[in-house]
Chains A and B, each alone.
Chain A
Amino acid sequence: MKPISSPPSARNKARSPVHCGAGALVRGRPIAARACVLLLLSAAALCETRPRYGGTLRVQIRESVTTPEPPQTGPLAELTSAFTVSQWDPGRRAVYSADDNAPGGRPFLDTVEVQMGRPLRDQSIDLNLGRADLVELDPGDPQRPQSGRRVWSSAPVRLLALVFSPRVDDARIREALALSVDRTSIHTVLMQRQGEIAAGLLPQWLSGYSFVFQTATDVSKARALASAASGSRTLSLGVADPANRRIADRIALNARDAGLTVIPSAIPNPDVRLLEARIVFLDPALALASVAAALGLPQPSRADSPEALYLAERGLLEGYRVIPLLHLPDVYGVSPRVRGGPGITPGGEWRFESLWVEGRP
């Protein structure tokens, strides 16, 4: 699990007056001048770090929530603990206003403006151009350090997995594909080491036993299984999210080594789909159940112990109906004008009530 990064500029700037003060004492310059400089620096630092009310936080996300009413789950729903929905344009835009009667007190921000359905590339551009304050980042996009730009990451809370259609009934085909996928390369290169390689449905930080599941590739065995399979060795791979297209292409390339022809496409009912499932519960059993539901798997039996949970998860993985690939974090790029935070919890929840913004957008 990658630790959640704190805003580095804020940390550095918060430390700077202490550093300056210590330096002044050591060097022993005249007191008045030193005091004056110290006071000015302290004032400046305080002005920069002191929360201030007002302003709008501009957020962009890929997802288009098209429900007529604001959602009751997910990040947007989490905003309602300190904000109230003042404008809802399904699939396009939402505006949340500060709730003066929030349990933790009124948030610093006046409003949070969320633009939905924004592609990752456009989000990144908008962040660089100062048109957005908080955007999602492609985990696989190599992060080049830019002045003042910060990155907030959650724990790996998204499962990326291949899920077979019921019509692919030959387990040898499914196992051949599972054995052919080179997860390490995907993790190292395409995901730039973000998240972690997954062979189980729950991440290691949540279950504690994920390492037990096998992630190594075995191309020769995969080829043998594929050649022994009776059905078609051509599979259509549905990729709903264009951001995952590169992963799908790599899977297709790996599958070719095993003698399978995997064709990434956007057809409505493919043989196998590349899906994401979010871990929304911190309770492993609930998380497993929710993931299974999200992937269309049968509900696991209730598990009261880690052993039972392991058995339940192994039961879901048997037969290779689902092939876990990676557990990925939520990664956000943050504008330099955003202060406070981090606004993302390890579970990937939005916590904007402690944020404020500097300057004019």
Chain B
Amino acid sequence: MTLRIRLLLIFTVAVAAAVGVVEWSVTLNTREAFERTETQRVNALVAQFQQEYDRRKQEIVQAVTRIAESPEATDIAISASPADYYRVAERLAATNGLELLELVDGDGVIISSAEWPARFGYKEDWLTGDTDWKSLGAFLKREELQDKVTLSLVAVAVTTAGDRKLYVVGGQQLDSQFLSSLVLPEGMRALLYRNLDSGFDASQLLTAGSTPPSHALRSLIEQVLREKRPLTATLGQGAAAEVFHAQPLPGYRDNLLGVFLIGSSRKELVELESSLLRVGVFVAAAGILLSILLSWWATARVTRPVRNLAESAAKVAAGNWNTTVADTPSSDEIGLLARAFNRMTGQLVDQRERLVQAERVAAWRELARRLAHELKNPLFPLQITVENMQRAREAFPDQFDEVFRESSQTLLAEISNLKQIIGRFSDFAKMPPPDMQTVDFNQLASSTLKLFEAQLAQARIRPRIELDPHLRPVQADPEQMTRALRNLLLNAIDAMPEGGELTVRTMAIPGGVRLEVSDTGQGLTPEECARLFTPYYTTKTHGTGLGLAIVQSVVSDHNGRISVESAPGKGATFRIELG
């Protein structure tokens, strides 16, 4: 991963994290604010309900009192024939805005009932106690109607005429219609649970609108009925979640007859949060995109000198020492580094040139030493021979012919030796480019080794050949490769003056061949291994030091690789790999 990508990622992650933190913070604050508002709304609605509830109670008390104080009520109370009035309650209820109205005589017997006209003559025993109905006002009551049981808000007024009494019991049902009359803000709803029977009954859960989630509310309602105090709970998940405030509604005997529930949907909050999240994601995406662009530009500015430095260093590593970094005008660390790099490469070039010069001089000296050494060896016999011929002509003229003949042979031999030496130098100097052909290395190794059989036998060296039958032919110059193998064989023979074993081995490698020549000679030190392929370097007392250099040159011209593996006293293995 490049520095630029790394910087880019760091910038991007930093921006995304910053946006995330801001988003989380905004969402958290919004939620807290919303929940504060929500609590205020619920409290306001509970207060509104209480106000509405009290107003309804007051209206009912007024209506019932109005009926009880009417002359008609007095007539009914003193009437000797109450049956004449059995339909009065319906009319009085209608004219006084009551849903429920019963006229009951002093013994608790129903004279007329608006909600259940057929109930005349039945008794309402609960009325005839000593309850102070006037001070009690309106209260909740479980009301049994003809076709159902309901929860009602009723008040009782008493008409007294002499020793006769008439109870006027009137009220309204607490039902869906009652809930509909409550003005609720958007997203809120009111529910009423009528606790008319023992145990929870889902059908008694009323709402003004949609079907209430009775199963979810059950535990809340049951808890309120058990603890007889207001409770708040959140039901549901996500956008369907709803906060319910439950208010117990007691009857006049402290029995809990109802639970009023105000539900506030969290949909608005969830939508707000979703909206914030969408905005946040959009802002984050835009921020990240912008940060990527800015980071791209900034990292480009930051990393361009570094990249230039890296490229220049790579060029230097590749051998192009004459490399400089474009002049960086900045005075920061990068500028200092660039200038230091340029100074370093300049010094490297200078040092290399000096080194090359020195090596060139050393090479010439080595060449001169070698040439002198190589040429001195044959020249000395030539000089001796010529001097012998001169001395024989002067001192022994009669033997001069014989001496001349023998000296001529020696001269010719040494001259031939000189020519051979000069030829080797000439061969190294004019190494031709390889003429690539398909070469079977098994055959090449066998035929070349066969040429050395006599020489090996004379040197008491056991030849050994290990050929890979799966070896595939490769493209190579057979003549140059033969020369290279011959040089390796000669080198191995020279390494075993006391005899030994010489192994030629071929081996198939992926995409090419491997040719190994191993000897059981004295081996090489690591330093010798390192300098082994240097021209004119030799560990022998004779030779030009060009053999292995020629081998390396041939292998290099074939885009191959040559290596040596050796340890002192354990022989050496030269390995050529061609692809």
Contact = CB atoms under 8 A, between A and B. Distances in A.
B135 interface: no
Interface in A174-196: 182, 185, 188-190, 192-193
Contacts of B117: 246, 249
A85 to B, nearest CB: 39
Interface string A222-247: 00000000000000000000000010
A253 B117 CA distance: 10
Given A185-B120, A185-B121, A189-B120, A249 B83 contact: no
Contacts of B472: none
A252 to B, nearest CB: 7
A189 B146 contact: no
A250 interface: yes
A190 B86 contact: yes
A250 B146 CA distance: 10
B83 A192 contact: yes
Contacts of A190: 86
Interface residues of B, number: 12
B121 A249 contact: no
A142 interface: yes
A250 B116 CA distance: 9
B119 interface: yes
A249 B118 contact: yes
Contacts of A189: 83, 86, 120-121
Nearest to A185: B121
Contacts of A250: 118
Interface size class of A (residues with CB under 8 A): 10 to 19
Nearest to B146: A249
A183 to B, nearest CB: 12
B84 interface: yes
Contacts of A142: 84, 87
A246 B83 CA distance: 14
B125 to A, nearest CB: 15
Interface string B266-283: 000000000000000000
Interface string B118-138: 111110000000000000000
B121 A182 contact: yes
Interface string B72-103: 00000000000110110000000000000000
Interface in A192-229: 192-193
B119 A253 contact: yes
Interface string B121-161: 11000000000000000000000001000000000000000
Nearest to B88: A142
Nearest to B121: A185
A246 B276 CA distance: 64
B115 to A, nearest CB: 12
A134 B451 CA distance: 157
B186 to A, nearest CB: 43
Interface in B38-84: 83-84
Contacts of A246: 117-118
Interface in A16-48: none
A188 B117 CA distance: 14
Interface string B183-221: 000000000000000000000000000000000000000
Contacts of B86: 189-190
Nearest to B112: A189
A188 B118 contact: no
A253 B146 CA distance: 8
Nearest to A254: B118
A189 B116 CA distance: 14
A192 B83 CA distance: 7
A189 B86 CA distance: 7
Given A182-B121, A249-B118, A188 B146 contact: no
A264 B146 CA distance: 11
Contacts of A182: 121
Interface string A153-189: 0000000000000000000000000000010010011
A212 to B, nearest CB: 26
A34 B34 CA distance: 99
B83 to A, nearest CB: 4
A252 B117 CA distance: 12
A356 B511 CA distance: 139
Contacts of B121: 182, 185, 189
A185 B118 CA distance: 10
Contacts of B120: 185, 189
Centre residue among A142, A185, A189, A193 by max chain B CB count within 10 A: A189
A248 to B, nearest CB: 8
A249 B84 CA distance: 18
A188 B119 contact: no
A43 B407 CA distance: 209
B80 to A, nearest CB: 13
Given A182-B121, A189-B86, 10 more contacts: A142-B84, A185-B120, A185-B121, A189-B121, A190-B86, A193-B83, A249-B116, A249-B118, A249-B146, A253-B119
15 contacts: A142-B87, A182-B121, A188-B83, A189-B83, A189-B86, A189-B121, A192-B84, A193-B83, A249-B116, A250-B118, A252-B146, A253-B118, A253-B119, A253-B122, A253-B146
Closest 4 CB pairs of A and B: A249-B118, A250-B118, A189-B83, A189-B86
